[in-house]
Structures are given as C-alpha cells and as structure tokens.
Structure 1
Amino acid sequence: MNTTRPTPSKEEIALLPEFPRVGLDRITLVNTGPQAREAVAALRDHPAWGFDTESKPTFRVGEVSDGPHIVQLSTLQRAWVFQLFDDVCRDLVAALLAEAAHTKAGFGLGDDTSRIRSKLRVEPAGVLELNHLFRERGYRKDMGVKGAVAVLFQQRFIKSKKAATSNWAAPQLSESQLVYAANDAYAAAHVLAALQG
C-alpha cells in the first residue's frame, strides 16, 4: 500500500522555534565584474549550492516579467546575491549556472530555470529540485522550503510577504530584500545537506 508521510500543518509550523537565518554579516551583494569574479571563485570551492532567483513581480494582465533580476547562491556558511545589471557580472553568473559539476538545489525551480534560459541564454545544469527528493521519500507533491525546514529541523522558516512582492529590479536592494533572498538559497543548502547526510 502506498502511504503518504505526513507534513506539519501551518498551525503546527507556527509553534516551532525559528530557523537560524543567515544574517547580513554573511550575505554578499554582488553587482560588478570584480565582485562576481571573487564570488564565483569562492563558490567553486563547494560542490553544491542552495539556489533561487527573484524577479520583479508583474501585476497587470498580459505583463511579462523580464526576470530574473537577481540570482542567489549559498553554501552552508555564506550566501551571495547577484544583481544582473552589469554585463560581466551577468555573464559570470550565466557561466556558473551552466556548469554541471556543481549541484544547484532549490524549491519550485521550473519557473526559475525557464527564465534563466530566456534572459541569460544558458541551459542551467546540475539543477536539483528538492521537492523530487521529498517525493521519493513519500511526502506530498510539493514540500517547499517552509515544510522542508519543519520536517527536517523541527524549525519554522520565516518568509516576509512584503519582501517577496517587492521590486527585485531596483538598483538598490533593501536589507530586508537581501535577507529574504539570501535565506531562500541558504535554507535550500541546509535542506540538501540534511537529505544527503
């Protein structure tokens, strides 16, 4: 008989202690070529990264997003938030995402990867949808970062709705945007490590 493993409800998750998020002291904003070269060198030292993207939300019918506007990559210790205005920075991120040698793990990555193909003109390689790993373990179809953190760590992952729907195409990102973006990738890195451990 095929049994589905239970996942905690919103109410149950609300009672859990908070997941220790990565703070601004361990988040690097990258928006120039030299910064991107440094970030890429640091990331290449690690075989797997937490991965996510953010795009400026669209609110009108028929409006098409030209995102992603930022790409987030994270190790277990540190996160990098890449803005894609600078040509050199954008090209270095694109090359990094096309490398099959590094695993890029995250949740709900279908939209992210199709936008990367469209904007960065590369085929993302080594992309690992964490929901697939949970399905293999008998959990419901889509776990998401909140459910995964609750199941694996018995902790509550905080996500700001205000930051989620903010302008990710802004030339200057706010501290709350940086923390929001970095932690999606940071939590994904920790979830992957726990699943592989």
Structure 2
Amino acid sequence: MQEPVLPAPEEIALLEPFERLGLDRIALVGDGAQADRAADVLLETDVWGFDTESKPTFQVGEASEGPHVIQLATLERAFVFQLHDAHCRAVAGELLARTGVVKAGFGLHDDKRRITHKLGVEPKDVLDLDTVFRQRGYRRQMGTKAAVAVLFGRRYLKSKRAATSNWAQRQLSESQLLYAANDAWAALRVYHALGLTAPAP
C-alpha cells in the first residue's frame, strides 16, 4: 500500500485557519465544586478530547513535576483542570480512570506515565490518534497540525509562547486557556473526522 502524502509545512502555512473554541466555551476548573460540575457535563458523552500541559523544565536532568493541567473536551465545551486542589485532582483522576469513555489525543504515552505518577491512577481507554494514522498508512508521527491539515484542509494555530509558558501558576492567562482547551478539542474533532466510533482498545 502506498504511503499517503502529507502536505509540506509551507503548504500548511497557506491554508485557512482551523476554527477554535472561544473563551465562552472554555471552563477553568480549579476547585472541587467546579470539578463536580465539569464531571457532570463530561459524563454525558462517551468520547473526550484529551491532553495535558506541564511547566517546562530548563535544567539538564531536571524532572518534570507535571502534569499541571489536564484538558478534557466535548464537541461543545472544553474543561481545563488545574491540579492545585485535592478534590479537583481526585475528580480528574476518577474521570481518566473511568472505563467505557474514550480519551482521544496525540502523543499521549508520556502524559499517561506522568498522570499515573502524579495522580496515582492509570488512565483507561486512552486512544493515541497517532496509532490510528499509522494503521492507515502514515509513517510519520502526525500530531494535531498535520492531522487537521489532512482531514480538514485547514491550518491549526499553535502559540509557541503559550506552549512553553508556566502551567503551574494559579492564574492562567487567556492565551493559555485557549491553547490548552483547543488542543483537546481539536483532537476530538480529528477523532470524529476519522469516523471512529468503537471503544479504544
């Protein structure tokens, strides 16, 4: 089978931007009450977009204390869980450990390991979308940008400044919220565009 052709970065740069969730559809979850409300909404669906963010490390050999933020998205809303509050951490852990709900995202091997270390739970039914693209003949690691270009013919916007910002701070900026929420939401859009409906293996 011939390997599908990926658009080159310069071709992607010419595409129209992919739509994004606005701040009105993004909820910052920082305490127990907010976490319980978020869980009620999330549990109405059986597939979530999933990603995490960690404060970057700059010293050689410095271990990450992440994740500091966990993002879970439905098609309508995205929830950005901060992990300072014990109840909030517990709810996020319970959601990720729940079976029967697909958590779809990109490059999640490291995220799963860090979550197990930090929250003491093993995320269940996690679907790394990279593996789906590999099964369909793509040899290169995809990631959100390439997947959105292939499936939607659009350019996924990512802020490098937000990516390398301090995710451990208690007050996240609007650009951080937009970045984090849309990473999870875009993964969910990709999941549906791939026509995936079965539970994750």
Tell me if both proteins adopt one fold, taking TM over 0.5 as the criterion.
yes
Alpha-carbon distance between aligned partners in 1 of 2:62 and 2:135, rounded to the nearest angstrom: 36
Do residues 13 (structure 1) and 12 (structure 2) align? Answer: yes
Do residues 194 (structure 1) and 180 (structure 2) align? Answer: no
Q: Deviations over 1:95-149 (max 9, x none)?
A: 1000111000000001100000100000100100001111111112311000000
Do residues 33 (structure 1) and 32 (structure 2) align? Answer: yes
SS of aligned partner of 2:87? helix
Query: 1:143 corresponds to which residue?
Result: 142
Alpha-carbon distance between aligned partners in 1 of 2:148 and 2:108, rounded to the nearest angstrom: 17
TM-score by length of 2: 0.96
SS of aligned partner of 2:194? helix
SS of aligned partner of 1:104? strand
1:21-60 aligned at under 5 Å gives the runs 21-60=20-59
Amino acid corresponding to residue 42 of structure 2 in structure 1: L
Alpha-carbon distance between aligned partners in 1 of 2:195 and 2:48, rounded to the nearest angstrom: 13
Query: 1:153 corresponds to which residue?
Result: 152
Where does structure 2 lack aligned partners over 5 or more consecutive residues? 197-201
Alpha-carbon distance between aligned partners in 1 of 2:195 and 2:30, rounded to the nearest angstrom: 32
Q: Deviations over 1:136-173 (max 9, x none)?
A: 11112311000000000000000000000000000100
Q: Deviations over 1:164-187 (max 9, x none)?
A: 000000010000000000000000
Query: 2:199 corresponds to which residue?
Result: none
Alpha-carbon distance between aligned partners in 1 of 2:152 and 2:69, rounded to the nearest angstrom: 28
Alpha-carbon distance between aligned partners in 1 of 2:52 and 2:33, rounded to the nearest angstrom: 21
Identity of aligned residues (%): 60
Runs of 4+ displaced beyond 2 Å: none
Query: 2:178 corresponds to which residue?
Result: 179
Alpha-carbon distance between aligned partners in 1 of 2:96 and 2:52, rounded to the nearest angstrom: 12
Alpha-carbon distance between aligned partners in 1 of 2:103 and 2:8, rounded to the nearest angstrom: 28
SS of aligned partner of 1:4? coil
TM-score by length of 1: 0.98
Amino acid corresponding to residue 174 of structure 1 in structure 2: S
Amino acid corresponding to residue 145 of structure 1 in structure 2: T
Deviation at residue 90 of structure 1 after TM alignment: 0.3
Deviation at residue 62 of structure 1 after TM alignment: 1.4
How many residues end up aligned between the 2 structures? Answer: 196
SS of aligned partner of 1:29? strand
SS of aligned partner of 1:60? coil
SS of aligned partner of 1:7? coil
Where does structure 1 lack aligned partners over 5 or more consecutive residues? none
Alpha-carbon distance between aligned partners in 1 of 2:111 and 2:195, rounded to the nearest angstrom: 23
CA RMSD in angstroms comes to 0.8
